[in-house]
Structure 1
Amino acid sequence: MDVYQEAVQYLESEHVPVEAEADVLEEDVFQEEACLSPLPSESIDFPDTPTLCSPEEMLDRRLVVLKGIMESEEVYLSELEALLMALWASAGTSQPVLSSRQVQTVFYQVPELRDMHQSFYTGLKDRLSAECQTGSSPGEEKEMTHKGFELIVGDLFLKMVNQIGLYGGFIGNYEEAVEVVRKCTQSDPRFRTLAQSMMSNKNGSDKTRTKYTFEALLYKPLDRVTKTTLVLRDLLKTTPVNHRDYTSLQEALRLSRSFLSGVNESSQCKREVMLSHGMRRQLMRDGFVVDACEGERSLRHLFLYTDLLLCTRFKHASRGKQDQYRFCWYLPLAGLKLRWVAEQERSPDTHLRLHTIRTKMYHLREQLQQQKTGPRGIVMAARRKKLEQMELMLLTHSTVYRLEMHSPSGKSHTLLLSSLYELEEWREAILKLTADNIETVPPDLLTLTSACVKLRMTQQPPLHSSNAEDEKSLCGTLSVAVHSACGLQQPACVYVCVEVDGYEFYDKQAKTHSSVHSLNPHWDQELSFHVDGARDLKVLCVSQSDGQGDTVLGKASVQLDSQTLNERWRRQTLHTGQLEVTLSLKYCPHPLKPPTSTTQPPPVFRVPIEIVAQQEGVLVPHVVRCCVEEVERRGMDEVGIYRVSGTTSDIGVLKTAFDSNLREAVTRLRSAEVNAVSGVLKLYFRELPEPVIPTDLFQSLARTLDIQDINSRLVSMLSLLHSCPGPNRHTFLYLLHHLQRVSEKQDTNKMSLMNLATVFGPSLLRPPVVGLGHDGPTVDISQEVVVQVQVVFWYLQCNNLPEAQTSLQHDTDAEEETTHM
């Protein structure tokens, strides 16, 4: 009988599914499995704030960790069984593919490892089963939590770790074993087909069946010995100090670390791993990120290689020794799915904590500046070190974006970043390498992690305090007026994100509100930053899509120079991918005040229109423009628009949002009932302390209604309008043009010019209040309403109304510049 057929029959007799032989053999790839629960690693040797929890919560988390360990042991045992099945299929036939010596090399210590882990798994499963049976009803939950204190497993871990030396022989033979497998594959292609046909059927479900190669199975013990230390570290973190397991787990962790350290030292001389497609694994990018695991944040050094992401823990070396990296986790790039989201609003406690750190950093920076010209003693060095430590704390806890990574096998990790620009650079670099969707032979992680010191391109975390002083960097107020963008291929809701660098004393990122759905988004929104040591400005255009996540359309970087920027606006056009963004910059240098704990923006409602316009750096307040845009987008055909009232609660929510956060308000506006949107616009004008048309013009406008000649009447009314302050005049004109467009569809929406004048007249024009400096004749209430409606009606009938300007003209010193990215 053919050797291959005999081996296949053997596998089938052992109930191991075997795929049919392919006409063309696949390349040497493997499906990376990931049933291991993501076990957190201990944090980097930088200052961090410990997460405090009650003993009951610790025991609950401990039980979750133990269940995850048991599940991962079950998967690992199935992999060892598959490896042993491969042994008998390749060596137990009448014409074996592997010689007895090759079997000894490839499968050295595998049966012993299987027996060791089988014993550990059985003991752990029995004790966990007994624990889970101690209580099942909700009322017994607290009692079961306390009974968790009686769950003892430390002896099981200590027994297993005392036998961990079994892995030493396997690791020593690993490279030779892989070489034997490759030679057998080259000499007999059917051996490869047989190896690739082996399947692990987890939980009996075809959907979760994982395909392995010999190389992948041989790597599993190598991966497991690294995971053992991480598992013990995680379990010890969730075990109370007064628990009977604590001492045993401490000793087990010490033994595991000692073994792993010895393996690391012995693997320094191992050669690089060659990828199965003839490529050599290369480092493409590295940098410091925050790794989120089990609700904890840890600063990590992330390495992006040609075929995988490697997350490591950086260990500062003592003087005279080399830095070290410890393995945390890795993800193959093949099939990796990425998704980024903005984190939820920070809690008040987090805001207070960040403010405290920033304030201390600010005062340390001030002290260092004052001592810069004095003697450089021990005190100054200590303050600089303290400033670096606080920067690291801020870097770890002030993140605002989450980059979620999901492997096809189900393994996931989340990175936290404070910069959308940096996140997009990581995302682009990863996606560029995942285009081929090719999986490779798993790496020797011990060797790869040890090589990080020599391969790294980034030496230290991005700390501004470690940068050299630069006279050209900015210290003061940087204003960015974002005007508009063009170049969209299809209509979209777009916002612009602006980031600055420098010290983290103040907010370093701001966003415009989302534009209305269009091909040519415009904002005319002014963003302001307090900066200290700023050198670069990052600009990103982001498309906002309901329910599908945001998409970065393009990004650009602008170098800041205090010698070229000044208090006059400087206009620039940035090429960011498919979009061209027009913005203006101005810079006012001045000493900075300590950071404040509250960054609440000033309110919009019940505030004079001139003050709101000045605060926003515009001529027409954003609340007016955004409501008008939204009504014109989806309310022009609504019957009774501006006459039918929206829900009072919905209007109140939108009003509160505009008073606190323009971005949030516009986001809510996009999904609110259109009658609530029109209601907010009416409410804004109604609650103005001074109407859009100043009260001292009421009598003059009332008298124009007596002018019989229509043209003379309109000329007089326009002349009076020109005497209004700029924001009042342009806001009134902006609204009039909008209402004229609404009336053009009066056959559908039933809103004629007279109807619109009746709705808005009392809000836009009011008579002076007697006793508040007004000495003229009083106006009868009925006459007052007639004047209000008639004046607005006549303005609406004017066909040659001047165009409204929505934003201030940003005059520049020089011609417009264009930055290409």
Structure 2
Amino acid sequence: MEEEEEAIGFLDKVLEDEDVFLLEECELGTPTSPGSGSPFLVAVKVEAGKGLEMRKLVLSGFLASEEIYINQLEALLLPMKPLKATATTSQPVLTIQQIETIFYKIQDIYEIHKEFYDNLCPKVQQWDSQVTMGHLFQKLASQLGVYKAFVDNYKVALETAEKCSQSNNQFQKISEELKVKGPKDSKDSHTSVTMEALLYKPIDRVTRSTLVLHDLLKHTPVDHPDYPLLQDALRISQNFLSSINEDIDPRRTAVTTPKGETRQLVKDGFLVEMSESSRKLRHVFLFTDVLLCAKLKKTSAGKHQQYDCKWYIPLADLVFPSPEESEASPQVHPFPDHELEDMKMKISALKSEIQKEATNKGQSRAIERLKKKMFENEFLLLLNSPTIPFRIHNRNGKSYLFLLSSDYERSEWREAIQKLQKKDLQAFVLSSVELQVLTGSCFKLRTVHNIPVTSNKDDDESPGLYGFLHVIVHSAKGFKQSANLYCTLEVDSFGYFVSKAKTRVFRDTTEPKWDEEFEIELEGSQSLRILCYEKCYDKTKVNKDNNEIVDKIMGKGQIQVRSQGETWRAVGQVI
């Protein structure tokens, strides 16, 4: 637990120091006036000389810790081979599946770091000012996908190891005392460490590596060939840490109430709210007992961003009005289709300009201006395109209306809330202090950090695919009762999901066979969603928000569709 606290503390430092570092970089690279050119250059050279010495010290310390980390991974891998050997005998300690779950990706992580260590070691030992090693850190950062797979499996690995320890005394002895080899120059030949502690080391290592990159950049001259490579590696690492942060430590998604109870963040995201007859972008937070709607405050440069709570509803008081129960909505004026298309054309043209400037190595200011314009247009598109109503009601009186672009997303929010409402929840009123504490925690607890527009994507992220996707919806099965069934298809477009196609209704069946083919236009798309509905012909069940009959979602799924060469491949996939 202490190691987890330490790693989380390190992560906070990395993320908090980022803005400070950017300021330092800016001051270093910009003379205050034309007349100060020569003294400025001399000062940079002096600092660069000191910086290169500091680089060596930072790298030497990191190399020593890298050796310890490799030894820890070796200790973790040591029992894996004999455990696998016994798995095929009449008296296995663990099954093959249990072994693969507990030690998932450890071998791959070991090989990545062994290669990194073997390449970095001679560079540090034969040090001079011309030594370059940025490419090694960049390669290490590019392999963080292996860590993502490890993190996704981390909780399952711990649970499996714990269950196996409880049911098997032999494995319990193995897991409680793994021998870790000491460093070459250490007096201690071995130390004993638990398997649980060692399984946390890869997560801890990513955090420490990010800190080292941060320090290396501070002590690397801007004109050094390593500088852009280290900068790229740091950016990838920080983005990775942000994305996995909540997965590796559930405490980071929780806030303690004044009564000492834990309030866990379950889901959050950006939604468009209809407020006083106008569209407002909100960040909505679903906790274990309350739904909170917030707006990001405008803050001056250098200050931490904060949220302003617009309203909240205890889940014990939250209800979803049925179509016949809900009162008529405020008039929602859909944005004209031709204006939405104009926005999309502007965004595509700006993307082309940005790519052209980047290819021609244009001025960074010109590129930033184009990116700003693109963000403004994407923001307007995000704000004005959603039309699917999502109404929630406080049983004490007030109703709220969100507009979504995806029915898949609407069903996910509804299902998440309804799942929490199955627990024994009590109504409550937050005091001003409690509300302030809860709202203040949102910035740190949030899992969705950026508005879902493509201009917020990092350069290393996939830009998505453009062109046309051919999809054939064949059939569905598993229904217990006959129903009138149809499917819709959604793809992510310009950073958010939109419905693109719909099958015909297959009537009165448990095994519909549509066999319908669709050609779907892709605009920076990466995923395909499919929803299966039961068609409702009851005229009394009409949604007053859009005057359409409300149909029941019977099932849904999602496919990550990737590119092979110039062709999309999702052949024969079953959801």
TM-score of the superposed pair, with normalisation by structure 1: 0.34
TM-score of the superposed pair, with normalisation by structure 2: 0.48
Larger strand proportion, structure 1 or 2?
2
